[in-house]
Chains A and B, each alone.
Chain A
Amino acid sequence: MKAPSPHTAKTATGIAALLKTAFINALVALVLFSLMVGIRTEAGASGQLTYWTRFGDLASLVAAVFGGSIVIELLRQWIGPTGAENLVPPAVKSGVSFIGRYLAPALLIFTLLVPVIFYNQRYILDLAILVLTYVMLGWGLNVVVGLAGLLDLGYVAFYAVGAYSYGLLATNFGWSFWICLPLAGILAAFWGVLLGFPVLRLRGDYLAIVTLAFGEIIRLVIINWQDLTGGPNGVSGIPRPSFFGIPLDNSDDGLAARLGIEYSPTHRIIFLFYLILALALLTNWATIRLRRLPIGRAWEALREDEVACRALGINTTTTKLTAFATGAMFGGFAGAFFATRQGFISPESFTFQESALVLAIVVLGGMGSQLGVALSALAMIGGFELFRSLETYRMLVFGMAMVLIMIWRPRGLIGHRAPTVYLTKAKAISSDLVKEGHG
């Protein structure tokens, strides 16, 4: 006699439970969306509010929630309660790690060749420059968040400081990009230290809110200090970068004329591409090198355990300040580049959404992982481009993706970088040496 398969029994009761869950979810959705979606308000011409109903949209949303929760429940039963971790068989995992080893060099070579492959496709080159800007910002923030474990929600402030440093110095004093670039980095680093001081004693969430407030203060000051920054109108007419003093234009002493080749506006785009690539690689190289220095080790130790860090005699003050300053400096470089690429900057480019976007790139890429950050910047900015036609839904999808990815893989999509050095094996300590017995 064969016992009835527990699987079928489970499915039989499962269907009733499934429908019940879906029904409750749909009911909740109905109440949630009833007023917000079912009724649409708009101020009329005379300022009087009018409204009209959209019950069709409401019904389809509720139906979508009903269907969606059935699908999710089925998927959950099908995959099993163990979650996504076991989805990937070990063979695939080792294959992925094999690919992972060669992915970084392959990606780098491909990136170097992008202007050659897509020489005449302005759109792709512009997008590539944008992606690289975010890769650089991600790598810069990675120093603060990924290595030192300090949650910074106001990173865009340093980006703004860099951009405005170059924009204002170039338009007011006519300084060249190559003088302003280090200055922008230094000024941003200075602001990083300035922010670092008050937050030295804070940890975790408090730190996040203070950095957020700092970012907002910088933005509000930029908006309101109209004499200096032009307020909401921004700074326009920021000079384009030159090839180390040789302008990239159609003139007689331009680079094209000097090299004896025909001038093309693409030259400047390609120059910008390699410029941001060089800056991003500089960030990456500096981070990798710093990680091996005592300061980098101290950052990682700080991330793992601040109390232990202090107990071991690491100066947490300088450790935190250098992390903030280093991260801010790279943000400043990226900002100067942004200013010279756009030729126009305004406070609108430096909202909290930018900070959150960069932070999302770092976290989704797996904090501390350089390759992960680069890949997630590519995915994120590329994804944004795909949704460009759906302008209003873009941030909605972005927010949902952030929530779902946090639920699905809170440690990031690509991976998490463990400390560079750690004890592999616990050592037994003689009970003579410890108060409580064996350690």
Chain B
Amino acid sequence: MDYFTQQLINGLVLGSIYGLIAIGYTMVYGIVGMINFAHGDVFMIGGFIALITFLILISLGLTAIPLILLVVLLVSMAITALYGWTIERIAYRPLRHSFRLAPMLSAIGMSFVLTNYSQVAQGARVKPIPPFITGGYTLHESADGFVIQLSNIQIMVVVTTIVLLALFTWLVSKTRLGRDMRACEQDQTMAALLGVDVDRTISMTFVIGAALAAVAGLMYLLYYGLVDFFMGFVAGIKAFTAAVLGGIGSLPGAMLGGLAIGLIETFWSAYFSVEYKDVAAFSILIVVLIFMPTGLLGRPEVEKV
């Protein structure tokens, strides 16, 4: 039971990271109707930028950890958001009215560009950082000596995710931008006729998605203590799986799907085999799509002739 609880905590933390990435997928899919294949790599870029900012701040002599974290968070969100904006501008906007495979292929190309760009720019080796946030709480100690740990970093990941989610839900449901986004999701032509700047709204969608991916990248860096240029691919597919599992286009669905994937992966590693955890996650994707093509919270797709 203790082991189970510990895995539950680990799974929820991992799931929060996946959920943050999945929101980027689901938003873009909802509005533009394409899989932003490069989104996993945007997450990776976010991790790298966070790492580099950390290094600079530390070498500048800053010691206050909350301040460092805040600055790193803001810098990494800002620059990664600019990456998201640029990617949309270069690789997707010219293809918006092209045939349906074109943006997908362009996105795959972009994903290769980002992966190899960071390999060329930062080298192929894994970049570790020393643990920044240490300590934690012992929740329960069982008779046979097994300890349930809740570390501070785990608390931070979950709290950050919840805060961002609340902020984001407010953004989508209450602000002008959120209304524009929902309008574009329903009908771009009609939204444009009613004075919504569709191009700008789509750009902002990519910017917000990339900023959330940057937060996920930072959390990943803090939680696992390393980044490498290839981490975007697998994380990206899993986050997409999460988005599909939750019902693509649905924001709470993306978070729910992220948590589900995180839990499945953690429990699979804990009780079956670590080697096959990715196989388990991908199999879930296939199984979900067979039996529930619209996901947990998705709307059924209406087929128009």
**Measuring CB to CB, which residues of chain A are less than 8 angstroms from any residue of chain B?**
28, 31-37, 39-43, 47-49, 51, 151, 153, 198-199, 201-202, 204-206, 208-210, 212-214, 216-217, 220-221, 223-224, 307-308, 352-353, 356, 359-360, 363, 367, 392-393, 395-396, 398-403, 406-407, 410-411
Question: Could you give 24 example pairs across A and B, Cβ below 8 Å?
Answer: A32-B82, A35-B48, A36-B45, A40-B123, A41-B122, A42-B125, A51-B59, A153-B108, A199-B289, A201-B290, A202-B293, A208-B35, A209-B35, A212-B237, A213-B237, A213-B241, A353-B112, A367-B101, A395-B116, A396-B117, A402-B105, A406-B91, A406-B98, A406-B109
- B110 touches which one: A40, A51, A403 (CB < 8 A)? A403
Give the interface size class of chain B.
35 or more
Interface contact B116-A396, CB-CB below 8 Å: yes
Partner of B79, one of A31, A307, A400: A31
| Besides A224-B275, A402-B105, A402-B106, 17 other A-B contacts (C-beta < 8 A) | A31-B79, A35-B53, A39-B55, A41-B123, A43-B127, A151-B101, A198-B287, A202-B289, A209-B240, A210-B285, A213-B282, A217-B283, A220-B275, A399-B110, A400-B113, A406-B91, A406-B103
On B, residues with C-beta under 8 Å from A are 29, 34-35, 45, 48-49, 51-53, 55-56, 59, 75, 79, 82-83, 86, 90-91, 94-95, 98-106, 108-123, 125-130, 233, 237, 240-241, 244, 273, 275-276, 278-279, 282-283, 285-287, 289-290, 293, 303, 305
B49 with A35: CB separation less than 8 A: yes
B303 lies within 8 A of A307 (CB): yes
**Complex formed: what's the CA distance from A221 to B305 in Å?**
40
- Expressed in whole angstroms, the minimum distance between the Cβ of B68 and any Cβ of chain A is 15
Question: From DSSP, what is the main secondary structure of chain A's interface residues?
Answer: helix
Most buried by A among B108, B240, B278, B282: B108
Check if A49 sits within 8 Å of B283, measured CB to CB: no
Q: Do the beta carbons of A36 and B118 come within 8 Å of each other? A: yes
| B29 vs chain A, min Cβ distance (A) | 8
A401 to chain B: closest residue by CB: B109
A49 touches B128 (CB 8 A): yes
Chain B at the A interface: mostly helix, strand, loop or mixed? helix
CA distance A154 to B115 in the complex (A): 19
Cβ contact within 8 Å between B79 and A352:
no
Asked whether, in the complex, the Cβ of A360 is within 8 Å of the Cβ of B289, the reply is no
Chain A residues contacting B53 (CB-CB under 8 Å) are 35
On chain B, the residues within 8 Å of A37 by CB distance are: 121
Known A51-B55, A206-B293, A210-B285: A36·B113 in contact at CB below 8 Å:
no
- Give Cα distance in the complex from A204 to B100, angstroms: 8
Contacts of A202 in B (CB 8 A): 289, 293
Q: Which residue of A lies closest to B93 (CB)?
A: A407
Whether B129 pairs with A198 at a CB distance below 8 angstroms is: no
For A217, list chain B residues within 8 Å (CB): 279, 282-283
Q: Select the residue from B91, B100, B286 with max chain A CB neighbours within 10 A.
A: B286
Whole-angstrom distance between the alpha carbons of A353 and B116 in the complex? Answer: 12
- Kindly list chain A residues whose C-beta atoms are within 8 Å of the C-beta of B110: 399, 403
Residues in A whose Cβ lies below 8 Å from that of B104? 151, 205, 208
Q: State whether A308 and B305 are in contact (beta carbons under 8 Å apart), knowing that A36-B45, A151-B101 are contacts in the complex.
A: yes
Q: Is the CB of A32 within 8 A of B112?
A: no
Q: Which residue of B has the minimal Cβ distance to A390?
A: B120
Give the distance to chain A from B268, nearest Cβ to Cβ, in Å: 13
List, in ascending order, chain B residues with CB within 8 A of A398's CB. 109, 112
B277 to chain A, nearest CB (A): 9
B193 to chain A, nearest CB (A): 24
Considering the complex, give the chain A residue whose CB is closest to the CB of B99.
A410
Flag if B82 contacts A407 (CB, 8 Å): no
